[in-house]
Amino acid sequence: MTVACTRRPAATRWGFGLVEMLLAMTLGLGFCGVVIQALVGEGRHAQQFTRALRERGNQQRALALIRSDLVRALSVADDPVKGTSRCGLAGRTAVLRLHTPEGTIDYSVGAAPSGIWQGRVLGRCGPAYGLHGQVNPGSVFQSRVVLDRLAAEATPWKGCAALLGRPAAPAGGLHPHDLAGSSRLPFSACLDRESEVVGLRLEQSFPGGAGRSEQRLSMEAAAGAG
């Protein structure tokens, strides 16, 4: 009697081995890390973009306020450091002094008056504005912060002459008068004595975070007195 031997097929192996699972987990974690870094970077970029839009709007409003005071000004002080402010400057540097029908308006730059403001500030000493955006002639002069987060170390301003349409001075300095030496301040003002046109520059700085360089925003404008 012959007995036939039947060979069973090898059992089919399902699933992954330990090495394969570890490799898959490593690749998955690496991919997740790349995605997270991309999302974090995109979030920072969006934050900087949103901040830039908001602060540029604040700079535009600050310059619009200064221009409105300039339009009403009878004259611009050639040396704003001389004389006293009706509000007191609290250690800030007077950069722009305007003689108006309501009195002398001062714009100054320096340390913040309280902790609610960040960095250096642009201050205004002058009459208050009414509900319709007009100066209230009978109002008491008040010292108010116009803009904060001004750059602690400002970029030296070399664009005054070009802004006012004037050629650069032969010595490389400003052809228009640099008011109070403010070309090295985050709020800069220069005066063209012939036309009484004032050039203005604002510069703010914000920390970049996570080893990134700081973000700087600047804006320029020009307006004539009277």
Mind listing the pLDDT tens digit for each residue in 18-27? 777 777 777 7
Average pLDDT over residues 84-108: 92
For the chain, the first-to-last Cα distance in angstroms comes to 128
> Rounded to whole angstroms, how far apart are CA atoms 201 and 224?
15
Amino acid at 138: G
Q: 10 Å Cβ neighbour count for 210?
A: 8
Q: 10 Å Cβ neighbour count for 103?
A: 13
pLDDT of 2 reads 54
> Rounded to whole angstroms, how far apart are CA atoms 70 and 89?
20
Does this model's pTM top 0.85? My answer is no
Half-sphere exposure of 56 (CA within 13 A, CB side): 12
Is residue 145 very low, low, confident or very high in pLDDT (cuts 50, 70, 90)? very high
pLDDT of 195 reads 87
pLDDT of 150 reads 95
Statement: residue 8 has pLDDT above 70: no
Greater model confidence, 52 or 104: 104
Residue identified by tokens 């987990």 is 25
> Rounded to whole angstroms, how far apart are CA atoms 180 and 82?
10
> Rounded to whole angstroms, how far apart are CA atoms 65 and 72?
11
Provide φ and ψ at 159, rounded to 5°.
-100, 10
3-state secondary structure of 30: helix
Q: Which residues pair with 97 in a beta bridge?
A: 106
Residue 181 is classified by DSSP as G
Provide φ and ψ at 202, rounded to 5°.
-120, 140
pLDDT of 121 reads 96
Statement: residue 134 has pLDDT above 80: no
The tens digit of pLDDT for each residue in 40-83 reads: 655 566 676 677 788 899 999 999 999 999 999 999 999 998 88
What the block records as the tokens of 29 is 């974690």
Is residue 125 very low, low, confident or very high in pLDDT (cuts 50, 70, 90)? very high
Going 29 to 30 to 31 to 36, the CA torsion angle's sign is positive
Statement: residue 156 has pLDDT above 90: yes
Q: What is the largest CA-CA distance in the chain?
A: 131
Contact status, residue 200 vs residue 220, Cβ threshold 8 Å: yes
> Rounded to whole angstroms, how far apart are CA atoms 156 and 53?
24
